[in-house]
Amino acid sequence: MFDTNLTTDRPSYVTHLQCSATGERLPADTLQSLSPAGKPLLVRYDLERMAREWARADAEGRPADLWRWRELLPVRRVKDIVSLGESETPLIPLPSAGGPGVLVKDEGRLPTGSFKARGLVMAVSMAKALGVKQIAMPTNGNAGAALAAYASRCGIETVILCPEDTPDVNVREIALQGGRVWRVNGLIDECGAIVAEGARQGRWFDFSTLKEPYRIEGKKTMGLELALQLGWRLPDAIFYPTGGGTGLIGMWKAFDELEALGWIGSERPRMYAVQAAGCAPIVKAFDEGADHAERWPDAHTVASGIRVPKALGDFLILKAVRESGGRAIAVEDDATLAAVAEAARQDGLLLCPEGGATLAAYRKALAEGWLGSDEQVVLFNCATGLKYPMPAVERTLDRHAAIDFDAL
């Protein structure tokens, strides 16, 4: 629940924006897209001052929502916050996963039913603060729904382009929440090319993944929450469904910021970037020792949220994975769907396909000996499974006929 006690502005510790590749500094509080080098920008804070003025107990004593981390977020004024109630998401044990310490961070509890709400609430709030009136974005579904909801709430117009095979529930959700949504005969990066051209023509601001600096700041709250929920220690490993990779990049940033504050030590979880075998550019680059990933041809998977043929932040994803001692793992669609079914039947937890991919990847990692069954692991379920197709059920019962109770 949104902290209704946030009625007054609190100190902002934002100092500047920084190019993720060259380190070049740009001013905060001005509308920015990519750096002059064409790379994502990162928000930087005065962490030394923050460490003197803000303590762990301050965060612990606030309502359990995204805004408990206000000092580590870029929105300076309360009036610019555009909230739909971004609550902390639970860590749910998954006993059937194959190890006793497997937890699922269930992001489907957030507004619009996915973790895209974290990034888009921050990006839209900053767009409002900076006077943006029109936004466009490509989406595989859930990000578009989150953008439409938050932008409509504060009067920003949106144009949202999605691949033609985007699930109908996502397209209808976007439209009902005020987005002008169009299906495109192409993949998400091809939708993004149209958005970029419109931005060059001055028609809108381009909200594509990592083309503005604030979605990372919303997504990093996953890492902040995780540290608090686990008593200010981090798990041994994190399995994260990776398309554009904003959340993985954001969590890695969050851990560095928490260490600079003195709230955690230098230990880090091994980061496992999970992709589908039918769209695995990060896995290919990891295996080849490359710093950048080539565009994946003929991308296809049932987990549409990670069907991203080319990620702008590929070098940041690969850097975090390698520095952590983790891996990039590709899983087949059959394994993903089997994991979704098993988690639902055995543990009562309905994962989205992308969440199912993390469970399948964890089992693959166990089988390959990449981690031990006694290690504490967090799998990210990035959206509610209720948004995705489920197997048909054909059984019927005629109440007028004799009931075969043994068959029931």
Residue 183 lies in a domain: yes
Q: Are residues 263 and 375 in the same domain?
A: yes
Residues 244 and 255: beta-carbon distance below 8 Å: no
Last residue of a domain, one of 160, 185, 206: 206
What secondary structure does DSSP assign to 265-326, as a single string? Answer: -S--PEEEEEEETTB-HHHHHHHHT-SS-PPPTT---S-GGG--SS-TTHHHHHHHHHHHT-
Residues 251 and 302 in one domain: yes
Residuewise pLDDT in 10s, the chain (408 residues): 445 456 667 778 999 999 999 999 999 989 999 999 999 999 999 999 999 999 999 999 999 999 999 999 999 999 999 999 999 999 999 999 987 899 999 999 999 999 999 999 999 999 999 999 999 999 999 999 999 999 999 999 999 999 999 999 999 999 999 999 999 999 999 999 999 999 999 999 999 999 999 999 999 999 999 999 999 999 999 999 999 999 999 999 999 999 999 999 999 999 999 999 999 999 999 999 999 999 999 999 999 999 999 999 999 999 999 999 999 999 999 999 999 999 999 999 999 999 999 999 999 999 999 999 999 999 999 999 999 988 899 999 999 999 999 989
Q: 196 with 244, same domain?
A: no
One domain, residues 157 and 296? no
288 and 261 fall within a common domain: yes
Residues 122 and 102 in one domain: no
| Shared domain check, 181 and 324 | no
Strand partners, 327: 272
Q: Per-residue b/e over 28-46, b at no fewer than 16 CB within 10 Å?
A: beeebbbbeeebbbbbbbe
Asked whether the whole model's pTM tops 0.85, one would answer: yes
Question: 197 vs 40, 81, 159, 201, CA distance in Å?
Answer: 18, 29, 13, 6
The answer to whether residues 102 and 127 belong to one domain is no
Is 96 inside a domain boundary? yes
Say yes or no: 185 and 146 in one domain: yes
- CATH number (domain holding residue 122): 3.40.50.1100
Q: Which domain holds residue 18?
A: 14-70
Residues 128 and 105 in one domain: no
Domains identified in the chain, total number = 3
Same domain for 379 and 299: yes
